[in-house]
Every structure is written in C-alpha cells, then in structure tokens.
Chains A and B, each alone.
Chain A
Amino acid sequence: MNNHSLAPGLPDDVHDSQQAFRAVLDALARPGQDRLIGPALPGVALGGALARLLLSLSDDETPVWWQNAALELPMWLRFHTGAMMAERADAASFAVFTDIAQGFALSDFAAGTAQSPEFSTTLFIELPSLADGPALEWHGPGIETVQRVGLQGLPDDFWTQWQANHAAFPQGVDIVFTCGEQALGLPRTTRVRRLEGV
C-alpha cells in the first residue's frame, strides 16, 4: 500500500455526513435545483461534493465503480468506509465519473429488477458547470411546473440514453451531477426536453 497518498476523510464525521445526506436527499427530491454539499477535502483529487457524498453514502456493502481506476482514490474510499472497488459496472451500487466526455453507456449499469428496482446503480458525474450548458426543460415528480437546467459537458447522445432510462421506469439508474461544492439530482422519474438553439 502506498501510505503516502492516503488522505484524511470528513473533518467532522457525524455532522458532515448527516449534512451531505440531507442535501443529496433534497437534490433528488427537487430535480434540477442545485444544493450545497461542502468544500473540497485536503489531499483528495475530487470535487468537494463528490468526495463528501462518497464518504457519506458508501459502506462495505456498496461496491463503487470508478471511471478512472487509478488505485489511489479507491484505496482512500476503502480505508474510510470499507467500500470495495466494483470490477464490473453492473455490480456497482455507485459509479464515479470524473470525465464524462470520454463517453459511457447508461445501459452498462444495474437498473434493478421489477421486484426490487432499488438495486440499481446511482451515478455520480462531475461536470465543469451545472449552469452554463445547453438549455433543458425538466418535468416530473418534485417539479411544480417546469425546471430549467443547463448542464455543461455532457456527450451528445446522453439525453437519448436518458430517454431510454426514463422509459424503463420503475427500473433505471439515478444520477447526481456534481460540480465543486454543488450537487444536482436527476432521478429516473424526470422527463427531459431539449430546447434546441435556445
């Protein structure tokens, strides 16, 4: 083990993880509204929101799939929460994307079963910005009329894949987009309409 790379976890274990849990719960209940999770952790090469959510939500029964499988971050997470590294994407409870532009397929991940749709993967996707991208209109549970969202840096075919994911309800994956200290939820119940050229 490379001891030198092991960074500390949450500064105030109990309260920080409760705060992050509450915030991400809120983010998924109100799709498209960003929520403050917390500042970056020293020595961890992840955004503050992403690092704090991983520490708060994962444990030894939730394998985590990493887009960039450099050993440092999985070892860090395993040391603090006991979460193993998932070898296969569809065996993961959580998936971490730090560079979404490399491309990916939503259908690679576990969508749960008809009896147990909760056994699906929750994806964490770090984006360059949660506001300045192409305009989108979101509808669905948790949104009163319409929520305008502009996510930056998603690949072109992302929303086509999302439509298929939404259509598979009650199965499908949920997504939490993060950028620095902020997080924004996209649960499988949300319908997305693109506003071309706006």
Chain B
Amino acid sequence: MTTVPLKRDNAARQTWLAVLARASLAELQAQTPDAHDLQALQSVRPPEVGMVMLRGRVGGTGNPFNLGEASVVRCAVRLGDGPLGVSYALGRDKRRAELAALFDALLQDPLHHDDLQRELIAPLAQAQAQARAQKQHDVAGSKVEFFTFVRGEA
C-alpha cells in the first residue's frame, strides 16, 4: 500500500480529535450549529459499533498483555464538498460519534476553525485536563509501595 503523506496540521487535528473523543454527548450537543447553517451532510460511513482490544502493561513498563475488549463507535461524514470528518469514541452512542465527526469536519474548514477552537475545543480540553488532574490527585493518596526484606546471607 502506498503511504499517504501526513499533513502539516496533523498534530493539531490529533489534539482536537482526542478532545472530541472524550467529550460527552451533552457537551457536544450544546455547541451543535443549526442544521440550516450547514451544507448538506453526507454520511460516508454511517455510525457503526465495533470492538477494540485494549492492551496494558504491568506497572506501565512490563510486557504488553490484552486487558479486554471495549465497544467503540466510529463515524465519517462530509459537509457538501468539504473535508472529511472522522471520529472514534468509546461506547455505543452513535449520535455522539456523529456529532464528533461533524465537528472534525467543521474544524478543518477555515471558516469555522477559529470559532470552534475557542468556544468548543479549548474549554473542553481545559475541563478534561482538570478532571484528569483531580483524579490523579485523588488516587495518589492511596498509593502503596511494596517491598520485601532480603532474607538469608545477603
């Protein structure tokens, strides 16, 4: 298979896709533009539910092992002749995947990019970072160090 050259703005897109993947349905719905403001929405890949294998490492550094499978929903849409928006999200909420794909398409459109970055992505990213930090802080208190004394002639 021929390799597809990466776009320059790939890193930026990765960031907003990660934010969209973690956003809840309510958060996305709050920002959804009216249907008549948009060009015709075409479903290139209607939302579909599948499974992904989650892999873990013991202690974060050991050998990888299969932790278990999780359901995931993915979707691809296009606005008129514009860019293709894609999304992957954990769970089985098809509407959420559809909205995330719609926002990905809009974010690639220079007309909407700046507004959406400011009003949707930046606040969501901040909220997600805060929630993560809070969780890490809560969990850190219960950290236990295991160690053993060496017996015998050491």
Contact = CB atoms under 8 A, between A and B. Distances in A.
A96 interface: no
A9 B75 CA distance: 12
Contacts of B1: 78, 84-85
Nearest to B83: A3
Contact of B48 (A1, A13, A79): A13
A129 to B, nearest CB: 32
A127 B111 CA distance: 45
Nearest to B7: A1
Contacts of B133: none
A80 B2 CA distance: 17
A6 interface: yes
A7 to B, nearest CB: 7
A8 interface: yes
A15 interface: no
Interface residues of B, number: 14
Contacts of B78: 3, 6
A13 B50 CA distance: 14
Interface stretch (B16-24, B37-45, B121-129): B37-45
Given A3-B78, A71-B2, A84-B1, A79 B83 contact: no
A44 to B, nearest CB: 12
Given A1-B4, A3-B78, A85-B1, A80 B84 contact: no
B83 A80 contact: no
B29 to A, nearest CB: 25
Interface string A26-60: 00000000000000000000000000000000000
Which of B2, B44, B81 counts the most chain A CB atoms within 10 A? Answer: B44
B48 A8 contact: no
A80 B46 CA distance: 11
Interface string B49-83: 00000000000000000000000000010100101
A167 B35 CA distance: 62
Interface in A2-24: 3-4, 6-9, 13
Interface of A: 1, 3-4, 6-9, 13, 71, 78-80, 84-85
- In the A-B complex, the 8 residue pairs with the closest CB atoms: A3-B84, A1-B4, A8-B44, A84-B1, A3-B83, A85-B1, A6-B44, A6-B84
28 contacts: A1-B4, A3-B78, A3-B83, A3-B84, A4-B81, A4-B83, A6-B44, A6-B76, A6-B78, A6-B84, A7-B44, A8-B42, A8-B43, A8-B44, A8-B45, A9-B44, A9-B45, A13-B46, A13-B48, A71-B2, A78-B1, A79-B44, A79-B45, A79-B76, A80-B45, A84-B1, A85-B1, A85-B2
